[in-house]
Structure 1
């Protein structure tokens, strides 16, 4: 059963907020500080010293050298997990044991088995859980979902997507070795492809749980050199994913997701129906962070026309963050606040994350089996 509603403002403790850099300082902190319903009360980092430095830089009252200490603090209602994926399990376990609500960045876990374990523990302990699948919080994606639900294209017949993942191409980002090791659970399939595929299902519905999936995965860039050190890395993660399947509605899906960036198309998504068509174009395939344009045509329309996203899909408190990576994270937080204080259940929880891990596992197993 869901735990009792949390009082506002929700007191937040961020695990992994660094004084130097990172996703927490780039997206989570700016978003939280724009929303009246949250107060960032605590943080933890890799050591007590680095935590104090971050607390001084950001003006946060409490700092802890370990995530377990943060989770045990009476100053925290919601534990936010923004560290590398292999560290999620122990941090989340300690937060759930303290009865704290948890917001974990996606991927939730290094794999399906670990996600299932955390979901079972959350159900046993009772606190609310949330997963950072922010693509479905994007105003454009929410508008697209409503267009489909309201019958803009009629019955959806099929959908197709071609996308570039930015990373996992020729360039080597700082700290990039972590993303080339399959054991970490952080790779192109789980991160940008995982976010984008969840956005697709938020618009069109889940995949058929019985029908098969056909998939091919490949590692085409077999050596990547770190220009800063000269170290040559040999990835064991896919930089090409091609798959097809069927949604529960019967609509047919085809996707080609590739690493790096293309000199041609970097994001193109079509939704084709009995009454019309929708086309989404963007600057890259990280759906939760890309700049998107929707066009559509139906009935006797002479051709596709832009369908601007109405203002009602935007959070007024986050207006200053439009066009930044923090906006969609903030939109998710705005709904998390409503879920925590009003008892709703809109933002994906750990159970949803596990279902998504299961879908990715199906794709990997289909590729391995040559189906």
Structure 2
């Protein structure tokens, strides 16, 4: 894609009702001068007038195939349920379109590997919405550490909430309770958070894990009905990172009165603490502290303005951080399907370690 021309974007997954694509991708793209929303797709013909009015877009197609075949689309954004990702992405690649997909890339590691390989074979770009690593504070912390401010990293600990995956479940999210859909807490909330850790500090060289389903059922918010839960609401991982640092991570389903996100990085010269009101760094306000003085006191660490790539106006956290990914695409540094495959491999290794009680490794080959 030519960085000097506006990128024409077609979004698959916008609805007239409040949904993820409408609250994240649409406002993000409207704030970015390098992009233009040119097309949407909907299976419901009755939605077309409302979508044109809400998004002010020239084309609303009734099928994905029409959108990905349109000459007015350079980049197809896939923002639908994970089980639908593979089919839509294959159609987009077959039509010669670059793709930005929501995370997780596929229901399984095999799906993710197949999609990444297809992108390579067709010489197309596949980008992935691992937006936690794109948060300005996280990118700055990575640079801050690489500049030697806390010395050699010795260890790191992260605790987080799954946000959903707790006592209650919305009808719109009921598919996340089925492990066959690849949308459990280990895949979604945990997967995005641990991606930020690996991006900042390096991948695991080996790991051990424990997972558990502590809540066997969840209550449907709308009806009070008890529904079975087949995905883990407890994920605990320990291991060694590249460079030798020891890492410990524990995610729990739901939200808590106590700690919902806290990440500490300990070095030979100082420490860093990253906190948020929930387990998603790309959704909530992130606070960063560092021990910068001789007394070792933790002080707020200001994030330089240049780390926010979305200039002008004031966007809420969700579209602001989604916008970082779009800007990284234009810079040529956005996470790709290859990065998604590595994260899928990590998750598969965690699941195998938990199932077998053995230490596991995963390949970093792209």
Q: TM-score range by the shorter chain?
A: over 0.9
Q: CA deviation at 1:370?
A: 2.1
Partner of 1:343: none
Q: Which whole-Å CA distance do the structure 2 matches of 1:246 and 1:149 have between them?
A: 18
Moved more, 72-81 or 5-14: 5-14
Q: CA deviation at 1:157?
A: 0.6
Q: Once the two structures are superposed, what CA deviation does each residue of 1:34-77 show, in whole Å capped at 9, x if it has no partner?
A: 00000100000233432453123321101111111100001100
Does 1:356 find its partner at 2:349? no
Does 1:116 find its partner at 2:110? no
Partner of 2:243: 249
Does 1:265 find its partner at 2:259? yes
Contact 1:31 1:318 in 2 (8 A): no
SS at match of 1:175: helix
Report runs of 4+ in structure 1 exceeding 3 Å deviation: 4-7
Partner of 1:301: 295
Q: CA deviation at 1:315?
A: 2.6
> Within 5 Å, which residues of 2 pair with 1:100-179?
100-179=97-176
Does 1:338 find its partner at 2:338? no
Counterpart among 212, 217, 238 of residue 218 in structure 1: 212
Partner of 1:342: none
Q: Once the two structures are superposed, what CA deviation does each residue of 1:113-158 show, in whole Å capped at 9, x if it has no partner?
A: 0001101111111111100011111111111111111111101011
> Within 5 Å, which residues of 2 pair with 1:307-326?
307-321=301-315, 323-326=316-319
Contact 2:160 2:252 in 1 (8 A): yes
Pairs aligned (count): 358
The TM-score normalised by the length of structure 1 is: 0.93
Partner of 1:366: 353
SS at match of 2:331: helix
Q: CA deviation at 1:25?
A: 0.4
Does 1:240 find its partner at 2:234? yes
Moved more, 296-305 or 162-171: 296-305
Q: Which whole-Å CA distance do the structure 2 matches of 1:48 and 1:93 have between them?
A: 24
Partner of 2:86: 89
Cα gap change, 1:275 to 1:6, in 2 (>3 Å): closer
Q: Which whole-Å CA distance do the structure 2 matches of 1:55 and 1:84 have between them?
A: 22
Q: Which whole-Å CA distance do the structure 2 matches of 1:318 and 1:118 have between them?
A: 35
Counterpart among 306, 319, 322 of residue 329 in structure 1: 322
Unaligned runs of 5+ in 2: 359-366
Q: CA deviation at 1:265?
A: 1.1
Q: Which whole-Å CA distance do the structure 1 matches of 2:150 and 2:246 have between them?
A: 15
Partner of 1:201: 198
Q: CA deviation at 1:302?
A: 4.1
SS at match of 1:115: helix
Q: Which whole-Å CA distance do the structure 2 matches of 1:42 and 1:337 have between them?
A: 20
Q: CA deviation at 1:9?
A: 0.6
Q: Once the two structures are superposed, what CA deviation does each residue of 1:212-254 show, in whole Å capped at 9, x if it has no partner?
A: x110001111111213223211100000000101111111100
Contact 1:281 1:292 in 2 (8 A): yes
Unaligned runs of 5+ in 1: 340-345
SS at match of 1:11: strand
Contact 2:101 2:127 in 1 (8 A): yes
Contact 1:41 1:61 in 2 (8 A): yes
Cα gap change, 1:247 to 1:51, in 2 (>3 Å): farther
Contact 2:104 2:188 in 1 (8 A): yes
SS at match of 1:131: strand
Q: CA deviation at 1:282?
A: 1.2
Q: Once the two structures are superposed, what CA deviation does each residue of 1:279-322 show, in whole Å capped at 9, x if it has no partner?
A: 1111111122121111111562341111111111113535411x
The TM-score normalised by the length of structure 2 is: 0.94
Moved more, 168-177 or 185-194: 168-177
Q: CA deviation at 1:171?
A: 2.3
CA RMSD after TM alignment: 1.5
Does 1:33 find its partner at 2:30? yes
Q: Which whole-Å CA distance do the structure 2 matches of 1:46 and 1:337 have between them?
A: 30
Partner of 2:268: 274
